[in-house]
């Protein structure tokens, strides 16, 4: 995966890619005291559109507050504008967007109040997070030997960088065992989420997903629940056990990076037909059109990066008419 881009936004400046570096003595690197977002921008008929920009920008700010930052120099609206600027200037058709608020300039002794927050935003091309054939064939998963965080140990509603050491342990183990993704159980032993995705189970035509107490309140999860309802499916949030995964008709996962992908095998047990199932397929079809602004009922989820054509036409008209009257 190439991560090269033209510019990275750093504390209000667009810095050329090679120059976007930070000092070794940045506490965020030592203690994981940073928060991040994962967002996608998709090419649409009206140019690049950031999917659910408002929700992502708001979650970034909330994550920073959960981590303990008390005064932040940016509002979510300013973060959203900075994200659009970064997408626009880098000119990718589709890209993944990674804003990070990190503890900088002091902050040693493990006290966040001794440092200050910095914000940086990078974009890069990140297709096929779970592999090239994932959308067609689904992927293979294992139940991790590592437990997901207890919500009083790490704050699972916040995308705190340090939380992701837990995901890295699980994902690396999973890959070394020959799987594509790991499913993590919560401290009580119920299904929580994958290392970077929320999880859904389909059984007898109904859809189930774990409640949000121990997992990230995924923005894709929210979009999938809306789409599933609109397609006429019942969606229930309730605890799910490991063997309820084994006996499901379909299991699928979703997240910004992974998008919406079926799990065709879990712990060497085939799930349903062993291929992407019909309900997963119907949700995928709508989801992948919605993110590209092709469905009017979900267009409010798309934040277009370029000004609308009509407003630039208005400007041209007014400039022209000014010229004519002078």
Distance (Å, rounded) from C-alpha 193 to C-alpha 199? 6
Any contact of residue 66 with ligand PPE (CB under 6 A)?
A: no
Q: How far apart are CA 159 and CA 167, in angstroms?
A: 12
Specify the residue, 35 or 219, whose C-beta has the smaller distance to ligand PPE: 219
How many residues belong to the chain? 326
Among 220, 276, 280, 284, binds ligand PPE (CB under 6 A): 220
Closest to 141 (Cα-Cα) out of 99, 193, 89: 193
Residue 291 phi/psi, 5-degree rounding, is -65, -20
Can residue 218 be called a binding residue for ligand PPE (CB under 6 A)?
Answer: yes
- Nearest residue to ligand PPE, scored by beta-carbon proximity: 38
Provide the minimum distance between the beta carbon of 198 and ligand PPE in the complex, in angstroms, as a whole number.
Answer: 5
Q: How many CB atoms lie within 10 A of CB 171?
A: 21
Nearer to ligand PPE, 116 or 235 (CB): 235
- 97 and 50 in contact (C-beta within 8 Å)? yes
Between residues 90 and 256, which has the closer beta carbon with respect to ligand PPE? 256
Q: Is residue 84 a contact residue for ligand PPE (CB under 6 A)?
A: no
Q: Is 272 in the site for ligand PPE (CB under 6 A)?
A: no
CB of 163 to ligand PPE, least distance (A): 8
* Tokens describing residue 100: 């990070």
Q: How far is the CB of 218 from ligand PPE (least distance, A)?
A: 3
Nearest distance, CB of residue 228 and ligand PPE, angstroms: 15
For 178, list phi and psi in degrees, rounded to 5: 100, 10
Cα–Cα dist 165/1, whole Å: 21
- Identify which of residues 112 and 260 has a Cβ nearer to ligand PPE in the complex: 260
Question: Does 48 interact with ligand PPE (rule: CB under 6 A)?
Answer: no
159 as an active site residue: the answer is yes
221 contributes a contact to ligand PPE by CB under 6 A: yes
- Terminal-residue alpha carbon distance, the chain: 55
Least gap, CB of 309 to ligand PPE (angstroms): 30
Count of H-run helices and E-run strands, the chain = 9, 17
Closest CA to 49 of 291, 308, 312, 287: 291
Cα dihedral across residues 193, 194, 196, 199: positive or negative = negative
Site for ligand PPE in 108-167 (CB under 6 A): 167
User: At its nearest, how many Å lie between ligand PPE and the CB of residue 235?
Assistant: 15
User: For residues 67 and 216, which CB has a smaller minimum distance to ligand PPE in the complex?
Assistant: 216
Catalytic one of 19, 159, 275, 294: 159
Give the integer Cα–Cα distance in Å for 63 and 75. 13
Cα separation, 83 vs 307, in Å, equals 14
Could you say which residues in the range 173-202 bind ligand PPE, by CB under 6 A? 193, 196-198
Q: Judged by CB, which is closer to ligand PPE: 209, or 276?
A: 209
The residues in 250-269 that bind ligand PPE, with binding defined as CB under 6 A, are 255-257
CB of residue 74 to ligand PPE, shortest distance in Å: 20
CA distance 76 to 54: 8
Residue 29 binds ligand PPE, judged by CB under 6 A: no
- Beta strand 259-266 with 139-143 is parallel
Contact between 219 and ligand PPE by CB under 6 A: the answer reads yes
Residues that bind ligand PPE (CB under 6 A): 38, 167, 193, 196-198, 216, 218-221, 255-257
Residues assigned a catalytic role: 159
């Amino acid at each position: 995966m190439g991560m090269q881009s033209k510019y990275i936004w750093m504390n209000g400046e667009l810095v050329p890619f090679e120059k976007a570096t930070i000092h070794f003595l940045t506490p965020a690197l030592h203690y994981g005291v940073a928060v991040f977002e994962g967002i996608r921008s998709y090419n649409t008929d009206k140019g690049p559109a950031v999917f659910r920009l408002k929700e992502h920008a708001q979650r970034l700010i909330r994550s920073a507050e959960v981590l303990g930052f008390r005064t932040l120099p940016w509002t979510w609206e300013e973060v959203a504008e900075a994200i659009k600027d970064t997408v626009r200037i880098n000119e990718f058709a589709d890209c993944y967007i990674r804003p990070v608020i990190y503890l900088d300039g002091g902050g040693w002794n493990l006290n966040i109040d001794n440092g200050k927050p910095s914000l940086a935003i990078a974009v890069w091309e990140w297709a096929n997070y779970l592999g090239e054939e994932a959308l067609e064939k689904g992927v293979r998963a294992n139940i991790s030997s590592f437990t997901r965080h207890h919500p009083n140990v790490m704050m699972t509603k916040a995308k705190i960088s340090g939380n992701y050491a837990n995901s890295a342990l699980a994902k690396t183990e999973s890959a070394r065992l020959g799987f594509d993704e790991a499913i993590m159980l919560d401290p009580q032993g119920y299904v929580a989420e994958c290392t970077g995705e929320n999880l859904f189970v389909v059984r007898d035509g109904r859809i189930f997903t774990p409640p949000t107490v121990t997992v990230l309140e995924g923005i894709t999860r929210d979009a999938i629940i809306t789409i599933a309802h609109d397609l006429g499916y019942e969606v229930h949030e309730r605890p799910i056990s490991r063997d309820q995964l084994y006996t499901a008709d379909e299991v699928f996962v979703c997240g910004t990076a992974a998008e919406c992908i079926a799990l065709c095998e879990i712990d060497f047990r085939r799930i349903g037909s062993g291929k992407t199932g019909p309900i997963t397929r119907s949700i995928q079809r709508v989801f992948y059109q919605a993110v590209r602004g092709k469905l009017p009922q979900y267009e409010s989820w798309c934040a277009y990066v370029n000004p609308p054509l009509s407003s630039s036409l208005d400007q041209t008209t007014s400039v022209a008419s000014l010229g004519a009257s002078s």
